[in-house]
Amino acid sequence: MIILSGGTGTPKLLDGLKEILPPEELTVVVNTAEDLWVSGNLISPDLDTVLYLFSDQIDRKKWWGIENDTFRTYERMQELGVEESMRLGDRDRATHIIRSNLIRGGASLTEATVKLASLLGIDASILPMSDDPVSTCIETLNGVMHFQDFWVGKHGEPDVLGVDIRGVSEASVAQKVMEALEKDDRVLIGPSNPITSIGPIISLPGMRELLKKKKVVAVSPIIGNAPVSGPAGKLMQACGLEVSSMGVAEYYQEFLDVFVFDERDRADEFAFERLGCRACRADTLMTSTEKSRELAEFVVGLFDTVF
């Protein structure tokens, strides 16, 4: 199974999937449009979240970073008057240093990610969406800023006028992602931000056409008229989409076969039929590993019963 992932929402679902499926059956294609260089090292937040999840290191209170990490390097830099745009943990920083040294030595982002997964003892296939640089920029009243500056630096507070995924039209789907899609017809789009987490992946040239040939199931990150977490609502609105499960389904309409939305959502499941997809209700609020496992079992079952 191929899973398209961003941060937070989809990793929670992956937490359940890795409990019920052998790791060699899982290929996670991860958004890299939020990557940026900090203090000479490449930070790839969504990739790192997935790596830390599969290596059982993730901080489950935040759903990013390494559990019980320290921040002595970051704090020492502040003492010396050097500000970093992100608060990086010491053990987390080691990941960035290894990745960056591999890339400076000529490795692609895919090769560096595969190496990191090996070092962390991960058997699942974790892949960046592309080996080419892509950056999500947020257009605000205060000017255009990188997504990390908007979300981490400004806490998602500025009004959003638009979203620009820079470099995506010139980028290519990573070769190993292409190979995975040739071998597996099952694609699961996790409940991550549709605009800035999944959007860059499906905006890569040729990706939508590839997905049209697959069995695609998507899980909504929206309950009612609000995202479970993160700035998805504000970003969807800026892109002209209704902030609802229906708005998410419409965004994926071109290639979507089955849409899973929350049992608490008042949306009419039959209304999704006009989009050409089947809709199913489930408990998508993953408040524990057991809840994640239950949703994972439900979603995996759809591939066996619907298609």
Closest CA to 19 of 299, 262, 206: 299
Q: What is the pTM for the complete model shown?
A: 0.94
**Model pLDDT, residue 142:** 85
User: What's the rounded mean pLDDT across residues 258-264?
Assistant: 95
User: What's the rounded mean pLDDT across residues 82-104?
Assistant: 96
User: What's the rounded mean pLDDT across residues 65-91?
Assistant: 95
The model's confidence at residue 122, banded by pLDDT at 50, 70 and 90, is very high
Structure tokens at 94: 């080691």
Higher pLDDT, 2 or 305: 2
User: Is the pLDDT score of 307 beyond 90?
Assistant: no
Tell me what percent of the residues of the chain surpass a pLDDT of 70: 100
CA triplet 81, 36, 141: central angle to 5 degrees? 85
Locus of tokens 């040294």: 101
Q: How many CB atoms lie within 10 A of CB 248?
A: 29
How does the average pLDDT of the chain come out, rounded?
Answer: 94
The model's confidence at residue 138, banded by pLDDT at 50, 70 and 90, is very high
What are φ and ψ of residue 169, in 5° steps? Answer: -70, -20
